[in-house]
Amino acid sequence: MKNLIYITSIVLLIVISSCYYDSEEYLYGTPGGNCADTTVITYAAGVQPVLNQNCYSCHSNGSAASMGGNVKLQDYADVKTVALNEKLSGTISHASGFSPMPKGSNKLNDCYITVIKKWIAAGALNN
């Protein structure tokens, strides 16, 4: 009987001590990559999800002419063009001389801006 209580106590202690809670972002990442680590950024995992979430409603091929000032961000080639001419970085940063984006909305969070700027600085690769 003493052994059964001892073993049950050990198992219970292990089960209780192994339970913990983490944020959903920590466990699964955030759109645009894990903002805690911006050392390795790719177009597919970092930039494209941010654009999907924040830009495509106005800057997709179907809506760019009517809502997006004819700036398309539908595919890599479109994004690379505005990335290399500095429009993307200027607009998302709300820099002077650029039309602030998203239009009529708050600036993207600093993490998303960092992800996009680092991707551009690394050569705006299709990775």
Tens-place pLDDT, residues 71-99: 899 899 999 999 999 999 999 999 999 99
Whether the pLDDT of residue 116 is over 90: the answer is yes
CB 68 within 8 A of CB 88: no
- Domain extent, residue 55, equals 24-121
Q: Is residue 126 part of a domain?
A: no
Percent of the chain exceeding pLDDT 90 equals: 50
Q: Do residues 119 and 47 touch, judged by C-beta distance below 8 A?
A: yes
SS3 assignment, position 35: coil
d(CA 62, CA 50): 19
Q: What is the pTM of this model?
A: 0.69
* Percent of the chain scoring above 70 in pLDDT: 69
Q: Compute the distance between CA of residue 26 and CA of residue 34 in angstroms, rounded to an integer.
A: 8
Q: Confidence class of residue 70 from pLDDT cuts 50, 70 and 90?
A: confident
Sequence letter at residue 122:
A
Report yes or no on 48 lying in a domain. Answer: yes
pLDDT score of 121: 94
The reply to whether 116 falls in a domain is: yes
